[in-house]
Structures are given as structure tokens and as C-alpha cells.
């Protein structure tokens, strides 16, 4: 066996424990301009990010609005066409598949959407909403299907009678439960939760979060959890990725990231978490300026325009994401 074959074997073994592997993923939206609608530029919504999620774990993705979190999630689910890179799901490259093959593959990865109002069809009965994914892939006895959907409803904390109601008769939190039931219907391996609680009341948020946690244990689910609320992500995730302007600037385990954030941007974010104990007043890092436009990102490190520790090199070279401590990746020239 040559060394090349050996490393290849090693790779496939590594992929087995990884459910999702994202390599150099890019999603650009072209900007059309001029008389003939030529492409005059790109909005780099997701610009070269890589990470892996292990089976049964939760990866949190945080960042400000507009930093490309949702686009990342949707690109992984192939709801948006990736511009470049690779998405390997359960050992299979799903970056380029299309048509029926893609539709079949969708059984294994589902999404919980951000807006519980817009993500449910107002004209459909709740029972139909939840049974639709099953009807798309298999023929089941009608009675059995109704029973199954009702059991799902009960599992997510809704009464069986909800089957015959319409989405407008439920509150935001209940609607989100319906959305979760829909995502669960096909017994997927991966669920991407795109800010599932940001549209909900704080009191309801924790209920939905705990439901998601319970379901993860019960069904052995893997989550990619997208949020802008750091405390929510801390509650949910095993590993956390911090995004800024379409780039992943830091990836670390939950504990490491909160106890010892390395990237200046992460440090600023974490300093902004309100501290309930007034005696423990900590230094707040206030970032100056605004997020630059992803259509015209700064050269070098995307964060250098606002970084309190920026050096000259920062505007010239884009630092790669490298492992500076075991399991702790950061993209910054300081390390």
C-alpha cells in the first residue's frame, strides 16, 4: 500500500465519524449591472469556510446579522447553489448532485426555519403540513400516517387535536413546534436550525430549546444551530463557530470559546454578554464602525477595519483558520 492510499483510507475513516464536512464552502451572489446585465461583482455571503460536525453533536454558528450564517445553513442544505467548495454529508459529496437525486437525499437533512409565521403554509392543515414530507417519499397507509403524525405532535408538546387546525390558530412557540415536527417527520440525521428561537418570546425560547435538546437525545440527531444570541448558543452547542463577514474566524469547543476567546472579534462579542452579578463588572470591548459591505470586503483580514489590535499585516494578508490549541481554531495573525 502506498502512502497515498493509506491517507485516503485514513480520510474515509475520519469521514465516518463526521456526519457533515464542509470544505472551503463559498456562496457568492452575483451583482448584475450595466446595460447587458453583466456580472460586475459578487456579494460574498459565504467566503471560504470549512468545518466539520460529528454525529450526535451540535455545532453552533454565531455572528451578527448579515454575516452569512443563514446562507451557510441554506447552502449546506442545497437550498442555495454553492459557488465553490465541498459539502460532504455522511460520506457522500452532495455539492453537485441535483434533480431527483438531490430530492431523495433531502430525507436525511432537514431544516427548522427562523420565522414561525412565514414557514408554515397558511392554507394547509397542520396535519397535512407534517405529513407532506412523508408523502413525498413513501406510500403509507392513511390511518397509520395520521397516527404517526399525531404521535409526532404529542412528542413536540402539542395536543393531538392540532392535527385538524390551521397554522393561524397557534402562537409563535406552538408554530415553531409544528415546524420542528415537520423536520422530524422523516427521521433525518441532521437538522439545521436557523435561528429557531429568535422570533419567540424569551419565556418560550427556553421551552423550545429544551425540546430540541430532548429530541436530540431521543432521536440521535445532529444539529447545526444558527443563532445570534450567544447565551442560546452556549446552552445548545458542543462546538461553536464564530462568523464575521462570510468568514469563520474562530472555531472551538463550547467551554474553550467562552473561557478563553482568542480572536479579537470573539472577545468583543463575549464581552457584550450581560453579566447578572453587578460586582463582577468586566471590561466591555466596544467595536467602532460598521460591518463592511460583503460586496466590497476589505483586503486581508476581513475584521481589520474594526479590530482594536490591528497591525499593518492585517490589511495585506488574510490569515487562514489554523489550530492554535487542540480543538481550538482561530484565523488571526496574533496566534
Partner 1 sequence: MTTNTAYGAVKRPEKSSSPWAIARRKFLRNKLAMISTVFLGIVILLSLLAPVLAPYLSPIPDITKVNIGKMSIPPNDEYLLGTDKSGRDVMTRLLYGGRISLLVGASATAIVVILGTIVGSVAGFFGGAVDSLLMRFTDFVLNFPFLVFVIVLNTILYGIVDGLWVLILVIGLLSWGGVARIVRSKVLSERENEYVLAAISIGTPPAKIIIKHLLPNVLSTIIVQATLLFASLIVAETGLSYLGFGVPEETPSWGNMLAFANEPDVLQGKPWMWMPPALAVTFTILSINFIGEGLKDALNPKSQR
Residue 40 within binding range of partner 1, rule CB under 8 A: no
Number of residues that bind partner 1 (CB under 8 A): 33
**Pattern 129-168, partner 1, x by CB under 8 A:** ---xx--xx--------------------------xxx-x
Minimum CB–partner distance for residue 114 and partner 1 (Å): 7
CA distance 160 to 177: 13
CB atoms within 10 A of CB 128: 15
**Pattern 275-294, partner 1, x by CB under 8 A:** --------------------
Nearby residues of 156 by Cβ (< 8 Å), 6 or more positions away? 177, 178, 180, 181, 184, 211, 215
Residue 182 within binding range of partner 1, rule CB under 8 A: yes
CA distance 334 to 282: 23
Sheet containing strand 222-227, edge to edge, reads: 109-112, 190-194, 222-227, 58-62, 239-244, 247-253, 328-330, 322-325
Minimum CB–partner distance for residue 170 and partner 1 (Å): 11
CB atoms within 10 A of CB 240: 27
CB nearer partner 1, residue 199 or residue 314: 199
Q: Of 181-189, 241-249, 315-323, 325-333, which segment contacts partner 1 by CB under 8 A?
A: 181-189
CB nearer partner 1, residue 124 or residue 316: 124
DSSP state of 285: -
CB nearer partner 1, residue 79 or residue 273: 79
- What is the distance, to the nearest Å, from the Cα of residue 146 to the centroid of all Cα atoms in its chain? 31
CA distance 18 to 53: 6
Ramachandran quadrant class, 85 (left: phi over 0; alpha: psi -120 to 50; beta: rest)? left
Minimum CB–partner distance for residue 110 and partner 1 (Å): 6
Q: Quote the longest CA-to-CA distance of the chain.
A: 68
Minimum CB–partner distance for residue 222 and partner 1 (Å): 16
CA distance 81 to 95: 9
Residue 191 within binding range of partner 1, rule CB under 8 A: no
Alpha carbon dihedral 32, 34, 38, 43, in 10-degree steps, equals: -30
Q: Which three cell numbers stand for residue 33?
A: 449591472
The beta strand positions in 158-282, using DSSP E, are 190-194, 222-227, 239-244, 247-253
Minimum CB–partner distance for residue 163 and partner 1 (Å): 10
Minimum CB–partner distance for residue 128 and partner 1 (Å): 9
Under rule CB under 8 A, which residues in 59-78 are in contact with partner 1? 74, 77
Asked if 325 contacts 256 with a C-beta cutoff of 8 angstroms, the reply is yes
Under rule CB under 8 A, which residues in 84-123 are in contact with partner 1? 103-104, 106-107, 110-111, 113-115, 118-123
Minimum CB–partner distance for residue 85 and partner 1 (Å): 20
Residue with cell 483580514: 301
Minimum CB–partner distance for residue 37 and partner 1 (Å): 11
Q: Of 13-21, 178-186, 258-266, 274-282, which segment contacts partner 1 by CB under 8 A?
A: 178-186
| Of the candidate residues 97, 125, 146, 204, the single one contacting partner 1 (CB under 8 A) | 125
Q: Which residues bind partner 1 (CB under 8 A)?
A: 74, 77, 79, 103-104, 106-107, 110-111, 113-115, 118-125, 132-133, 136-137, 164-166, 168-169, 179, 182, 185-186
Amino acid at each position: 500500500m502506498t502512502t497515498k492510499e493509506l491517507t485516503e483510507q485514513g480520510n474515509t475513516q475520519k469521514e465516518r465519524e463526521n456526519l457533515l464536512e464542509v470544505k472551503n464552502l463559498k456562496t457568492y451572489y452575483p451583482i448584475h449591472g450595466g446595460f447587458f446585465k453583466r456580472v460586475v461583482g459578487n456579494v460574498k455571503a459565504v467566503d471560504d469556510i470549512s468545518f466539520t460536525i460529528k454525529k450526535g453533536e451540535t455545532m453552533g454558528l454565531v455572528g451578527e446579522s448579515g454575516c452569512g450564517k443563514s446562507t451557510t445553513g441554506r447552502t449546506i442544505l442545497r437550498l442555495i447553489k454553492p459557488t465553490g467548495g465541498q459539502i460532504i454529508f455522511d460520506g457522500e459529496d452532495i455539492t453537485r448532485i441535483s434533480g431527483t437525486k438531490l430530492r431523495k437525499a433531502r430525507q436525511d437533512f432537514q431544516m427548522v426555519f427562523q420565522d414561525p409565521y412565514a414557514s408554515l403554509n397558511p392554507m394547509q392543515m397542520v396535519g397535512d403540513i407534517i405529513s407532506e414530507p412523508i408523502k413525498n417519499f413513501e406510500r403509507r397507509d392513511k390511518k397509520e400516517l395520521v397516527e404517526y403524525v399525531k404521535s409526532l405532535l404529542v412528542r413536540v408538546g402539542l395536543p393531538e387535536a392540532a392535527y385538524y387546525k390551521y397554522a393561524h390558530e397557534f402562537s409563535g412557540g406552538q408554530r415553531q413546534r409544528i415546524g420542528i415536527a415537520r423536520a422530524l417527520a422523516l427521521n433525518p440525521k441532521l437538522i439545521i436550525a436557523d435561528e429557531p428561537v429568535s422570533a419567540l418570546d424569551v419565556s418560550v425560547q427556553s421551552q423550545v430549546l429544551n425540546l430540541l435538546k430532548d429530541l436530540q437525545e431521543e432521536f440521535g440527531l445532529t444539529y447545526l444551530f444558527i443563532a445570534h444570541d450567544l447565551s442560546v448558543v452556549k446552552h445548545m452547542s458542543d462546538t461553536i463557530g464564530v462568523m464575521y463577514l462570510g468568514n469563520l474566524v474562530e472555531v472551538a469547543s463550547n467551554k474553550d470559546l467562552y473561557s478563553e476567546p482568542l480572536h479579537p472579534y470573539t472577545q468583543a462579542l463575549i464581552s457584550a454578554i450581560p453579566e447578572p452579578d453587578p460586582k463582577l463588572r468586566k471590561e466591555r470591548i466596544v467595536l467602532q464602525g460598521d460591518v463592511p459591505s460583503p460586496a466590497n470586503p476589505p483586503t486581508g483580514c476581513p475584521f481589520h477595519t474594526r479590530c482594536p489590535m490591528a497591525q499593518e499585516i492585517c490589511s495585506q494578508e488574510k490569515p487562514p483558520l489554523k489550530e492554535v490549541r487542540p480543538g481550538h481554531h482561530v484565523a488571526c495573525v496574533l496566534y
